[in-house]
Amino acid sequence: MKIDYNNLRQSQLNEDSDIKPFKCADADLNEFLFEDAKHFQKELMAVTYIIEYVDRNHTVAYFSLLADKITFNPEEKGVWNRFNRNIPNSKRRRSYPAVKVGRLAVNEDYSRQGIGTFILDNIKYIFSNVKRLGCRFITVDALKVATPFYERNGFQFITNSDKDDETRLMFFDLKNFIS
The domain spans of the chain are 5-178
Residue 146's pLDDT band (cuts 50, 70, 90): very high
The pLDDT of residue 134 is 84
**For residues 75-94, average pLDDT:** 79
Least confident of 8-12, 63-67, 125-129, 152-156: 125-129
Output 123-127 pairs: Cβ under 8 A, ≥24 positions apart. 123/63, 123/65, 123/99, 124/172, 124/174, 124/177, 125/177, 127/99, 127/174
Beta strand pairing call for 95-106 and 59-71: antiparallel
Identify which has the larger pLDDT, 175 or 105. Answer: 105
**For residues 92-115, average pLDDT:** 93
pTM metric for this prediction: 0.91
Reduced to 3 states, what is the DSSP secondary structure of residue 87?
A: coil
CATH 3.30.70.20 fits 5-178, yes or no: no
**For residues 93-113, average pLDDT:** 93
Question: Above 80 in pLDDT, residue 78?
Answer: no
**For residues 154-178, average pLDDT:** 91
The pLDDT of residue 138 is 96
The pLDDT of residue 110 is 93
Helix (H) or strand (E) holding 19: none
Residue 86's pLDDT band (cuts 50, 70, 90): confident
Buried b or exposed e, range 83-120, using 16+ CB within 10 angstroms: beeeeeeeeeeeebebbbbbbbbbbeebeeeebbebbb
Reduced to 3 states, what is the DSSP secondary structure of residue 174?
A: helix
